[in-house]
Structure 1
Amino acid sequence: MSETHKTDPNIKSPCIRQCCLDDDEICVGCYRTMKEIMVWQQSNQSEKLAILANCSIRKKKHDFLHP
């Protein structure tokens, strides 16, 4: 297994234990999709960082639409 494909346990999951999916199947607690939640543990550092970036975008969109 190459270094770029190893999982990175140092990047913490964004889960805040408020797991509930909205109508778009996005978790209202961490803003991950179901697929992102399912692959988190097997994801490498760059994949986890991409997931976190997507979560941030989704949260900003949510906060803008639901002030």
Structure 2
Amino acid sequence: MSDTPQSPCVSICALDQNDVCEGCYRTGDEIVDWFTADDTRKQEILEASAQRRKEAGFSLF
């Protein structure tokens, strides 16, 4: 199994007024960065999106 973080994309691709995806809670810049990011940066993006999801009142677990 790979240690590379998997994309949090859930195929609900719509940016809100704050440039945050309503599906994965990444910013537009983070979505673009994902394709060239190293594993450390991907983990940072995942942590930031998880925090945004939590602040919005949604939790995966």
Q: Normalized against structure 1, the TM-score is what?
A: 0.78
Q: Which runs of 4+ in 1 moved over 3 A?
A: none
Which of the pair is proportionally richer in helix? 1
Q: Give matches, 1:34-45, under 5 Å.
A: 34-45=28-39
CA distance in 1, matches of 2:38, 2:19: 23
Q: Normalized against structure 2, the TM-score is what?
A: 0.85
Structure 1: state its 5+ residue gaps: 1-7
Residue aligning to 2:50: 56
What root-mean-square deviation, in Å, do the aligned CA atoms of Structure 1 and Structure 2 show? 1.9
Q: Identity of paired residues, percent?
A: 37
1:41 Cα deviation after fit: 1.2
Q: 1:19 aligns with which of 13, 16, 19?
A: 13
More relative contact order, 1 or 2 (CA 8 Å, 6+ apart): 1
Which segment is superposed worse, 38-47 or 8-17? 8-17
CA distance in 1, matches of 2:3, 2:9: 14
Structure 2: state its 5+ residue gaps: none
The structure with more radius of gyration: 1
